[in-house]
Structure 1
Amino acid sequence: MTRYAVTLAALAALCASPALAADGKALFAAKGCVACHGEAGAKPIAGSPNIAGQNAVYLLRQMTEIADGTRSSAPVKVMKPVIDKTTPDERKVLAEWLATQRPAEAQPGDKAKAEQGAELFDENGCIGCHGADGLKPLADYPFLAGQRKDYLMVQIKAIRDEIRSTRRTRMMTANVRKFSEAQVEQVAEFLSQTKRK
């Protein structure tokens, strides 16, 4: 075996080692997650969610649903090839590591729209699963506070229009079915401006 072949074999072994598999930060970099979600999941590009500090159980469920095709609407289709290159154990490690990262800062925005959005959030029962101000979700639901406005708008519309239609999101459809475009924006303004604690 040549020295080159030995080096390649050693690198392959290192990449497959339990130490690397157990390191969420290394996996996040190695799988290319930073390209869309930014450093430690807190500085995403437009259209991608903040995932730093997100609920680990929720993150793992989303990765699993993308992997098995349960969640396949347009915004996440680009993630399918990336997720397909991860093992269930790696997804768990990624989810647990991301949950420990510092959440993104709340975004500035239109205060008047945010106030209207806060009323809509309360009036339409969002608090039941996502908690007051999107800050205290049930065990396997996402934090919504501090999420990107553009991402929230796309997801609320996808749930409203039954484009994103998994068992969990179907439960939410009734809450947002009557939202106008303006109301979707108001709720997204409110949540994106709400600071994670």
Structure 2
Amino acid sequence: MKLLASLLTAAALAAPVFSAYAAGDAPKVAKPDLVKGEASFTAVCAACHNADGNSAIAANPKLSQQHPEYLVKQLQEFKSGKRNNAVMKGFAAALSDDDMRNISYWLASKPAKAGFAKDKDLVALGERIYRGGIADRNIAACAGCHSPNGAGIPAQYPRLAGQHADYTVSQLNMFRDGSRNNSLQMTQVAAKLNDKEIKAVSDYIAGLR
């Protein structure tokens, strides 16, 4: 009887804990507000990245259909200075964490427009690097992290399919020379690529779909 009484007492003490969670008192993360995200994007970002995130300017990245967690991380790192870009730092500094989440999830909901490769003489080299890497120099295949069709792997590895080749070239060059240093893995990969290889794989990525 004493054992039974002890068990009943323990259960009674635990009951408020379980009932609190059952009543929905556990912490919740607010859902992104896509209406606010669109409004903020239109006001702050659309001039450079186009109204739907499909930038028409080759130097500015396409953002539509990108993994939202990746976009949030980049905006936070622009704001903190971990990713060095004077223009983006100025824009990101004006955004709250909620703004960043709203914008990023709104962009993720917009379909990306397909791109295309332009340099037929380099596309075969680009495909070999993207799909197979360069074994004798220990360069891993891009597809291993960014997936064979360039869709990426949420939330760590960004979508690349259809990205402007000029933008990808600039980012690989920045990883290689150290002016972009917010991904050790990409710094190590880019350090082993020469100019021709960077151009080739960037052009191939532009045509991925």
TM-score, length of structure 1 as denominator length: 0.80
Range with greater deviation from structure 2 (87-96 or 44-53): 44-53
After superposing the two structures, state which structure 1 stretch, 51-60 or 35-44, moved more: 35-44
Q: Distance in 2 between matches of 1:118 and 1:112?
A: 12
CA distance in 1, matches of 2:174, 2:77: 16
Q: Give the alignment of 1:126-141 within 5 angstroms.
A: 126-141=142-157
Residue 87 (structure 1) aligned with residue 99 (structure 2): no
127-136 vs 173-182, which moves further: 127-136
Decide whether aligned partners of structure 1 residues 99 and 108 sit closer, same or farther in structure 2, where only a CA change above 3 A counts: same
2:122 maps to what in 1?
A: 113
Tell me how far apart the structure 2 counterparts of residues 78 and 54 of structure 1 sit (CA, whole Å): 20
Q: Percent identity?
A: 30
Q: Distance in 2 between matches of 1:50 and 1:40?
A: 9
2:81 pairs with 54, 69, 77, which one? 69
Residue 65 of structure 2: which of 46, 53, 62 is its match? Answer: 53
Instruction: State the one-letter code of the partner of 2:198.
Output: V
Aligned to 1:159: 175
Contact 1:161 1:177 in 2 (8 A): yes
Deviation at 1:21, TM superposition (A): 8.3
The one-letter amino acid paired with 2:160 is L
| Structure 2 CA distance for partners of 1:113 and 1:71, relative to 1, 3 Å | same
2:34–2:105 Cα contact (<8 Å) kept: no
Match of 1:175 in 2: 189
The number of equivalent residue pairs is: 171
5+ residue gaps in structure 2? 1-32, 134-138
TM-aligned CA deviation for residue 67 of structure 1: 0.6
The one-letter amino acid paired with 2:39 is A
Q: Which residue of 1 aligns with 2:17?
A: none
Q: Identify if the C-alpha distance between structure 1 residues 21 and 149 changes in structure 2 by more than 3 Å, giving closer, same or farther.
A: closer
Alpha-carbon RMSD across the aligned residues, in angstroms, is 1.9
- Counterpart contact for 2:68–2:155, Cα < 8 Å: no
Cα separation, 2, equivalents of 1:87 and 1:45: 26
Q: Is this contact kept in 2: 1:118–1:187, CA < 8 A?
A: yes
2:203 to 186, 189, 197: 189
